[in-house]
A and B are shown apart, each in its own frame.
Chain A
């Protein structure tokens, strides 16, 4: 493991009874990047994170954090964690929870600074059990960052947050990466990965089926979407070369094309009154759907 690789799964397999959770998985999280781990339910994301955090042992292969075994408490002192489903002590106040978790780290932020940073200072003296679901997620995020971690593991961090709180968390995540932290993010919101991730790995049925930058993953889907207002019939356009599918939404025609340039040229030639032409490349969501469907099929 080199200096730039903070966390690594190398040839890892893990079974639970007859179920293969991970099957020969190789993953690397590099210094200073936000790495998004995507996959449908049951793909093996949580198992992969559990192995990296030392919560489970691989059946074969190896898991390392900072070149060391993740079971060592010294290794985990560089790590912050936000889990998806966790109930913290309801009778402790927010500041007390931060104070407690900060005590695990050698050089933590002071609790009030953490609350300021995560925009949760007004919740300081509230019992955790009295907070809303979104506020609880914000406090769990505060606990994840209070120890000045090198590497943050965030499992579905923005579930339950309102739009404003989600945007605040996104901007904090970007700032953390800018300041040198690395982040492993699992999320069901593909626009979140699209907006934040430097690199993405897609897991399906316990295997890494795609890995690369968001653009590289999107490139797996070559088709593009064309929309326009036209008098041309969908039946006619559907017969053109390079057109994969056509649908009409009131006046608007939605075309999926393998070669957008050819189709656009022909559209403009066929209808001089054509308006509101838009061409969009496939998003991460479409790439994700296509990739995972291929594996499931």
Chain B
């Protein structure tokens, strides 16, 4: 360590007598948000335990079911082919948001990283926005690989417009799962977070009806899961009749409500 000085107080004095070095141009604040988002995505993509399952699992399962096991049958049943595609696509969107917040926030709370970030002059919303951006980046990658698989091996006749619609729905569709993950991550310990998040993830995959048609008695309960509403929006984008606004309203409400509750808890307890 050499003697390089860290202070260079040359600006004007404030009314209270301190030199004001805290003014930060909007461009630099925006830059801080971008760097937080960039490094959050970079570190998650580098983390094999996170990146590999969430990037490869949905498309691998899609290829297994829609191509290898039931390829022939689905070619003769476009409706079922669409159902399988949207199911695995929604599954791919759910993972990064739920786990990226659920487990990672709980762990970072316990390991002191969140406390350090709160003590540092990190822009207030940067922590949450960076994780949301990370989930969206993963959503884009999952969408791109799913569409590529569907067009080439899955023989799903998607138009360019539909591909863009799916991408847009997936990017924004990551947010309710981020909010749900955040809600879990702010309330449970790092030890409990993997179990609770997995429980919610698996329960939602099966009980929302995105993978298998639910028995009639259970269909009414599917609406409580955000995955159901995202799946419905995907159907709508691919030409099936569905009530767009209701599903958008439910997903937006879940996102806002759970995020607000989580931010309140973070501010109170940390």
Contacts and interface: CB of A to CB of B under 8 A. Distances in A.
Contacts of A86: 111-113, 115-116
Contacts of B119: 53-55, 76, 79, 81, 83, 153
Interface in B103-122: 108, 111-113, 115-116, 118-122
A109 interface: yes
Contact of A117 (B4, B22, B124): B4
Interface of A: 1-3, 53-55, 66-68, 73-79, 81, 83, 85-89, 91-92, 96, 99-101, 103-107, 109, 113, 116-119, 145, 147-150, 153, 168-169, 171-172, 175-176, 178-181
Given A66-B16, A105-B121, A148-B7, A116 B112 contact: no
Contacts of B23: 74, 106
Given A55-B118, A67-B16, A78 B21 contact: yes
B215 interface: no
Contacts of B8: 107, 148
Given A92-B43, A169-B1, A106 B17 contact: no
Interface stretch (B28-36, B72-80, B195-203, B247-255): B28-36
21 contacts: A3-B17, A66-B16, A67-B18, A73-B121, A75-B22, A77-B121, A83-B115, A83-B119, A86-B111, A89-B43, A91-B47, A103-B32, A104-B121, A107-B21, A116-B4, A148-B7, A148-B8, A150-B7, A153-B119, A175-B1, A179-B6
Given A83-B115, A105-B121, A119 B1 contact: yes
A68 to B, nearest CB: 8
A153 B44 CA distance: 30
Contacts of B161: none
A106 B123 contact: no
Contacts of B239: none
B7 A96 contact: no
Interface of B: 1-9, 16-18, 21-25, 28, 31-32, 35-36, 39, 42-44, 46-47, 108, 111-113, 115-116, 118-124, 270
Contacts of B46: 91-92
Contacts of A181: 6-7
A147 B121 contact: yes
Sorted from nearest, which 6 A-B pairs have the closest CB atoms? A179-B5, A3-B17, A87-B111, A172-B1, A86-B112, A175-B3
Contacts of B123: 73, 104
Contacts of B115: 55, 83, 86
B112 A168 contact: no
Contacts of A117: 1-2, 4, 6
Contacts of B113: 86-89
Contacts of B24: 74, 77, 105-106
A175 B35 contact: no
Nearest to B38: A100
Contact of A91 (B9, B17, B43): B43
B17 A2 contact: yes
Given A76-B121, A83-B115, A117-B1, A109 B43 contact: no
B32 A83 contact: no
Nearest to A53: B119
A144 B9 CA distance: 18
Contact of B35 (A100, A145, A172, A180): A100
B120 to A, nearest CB: 6
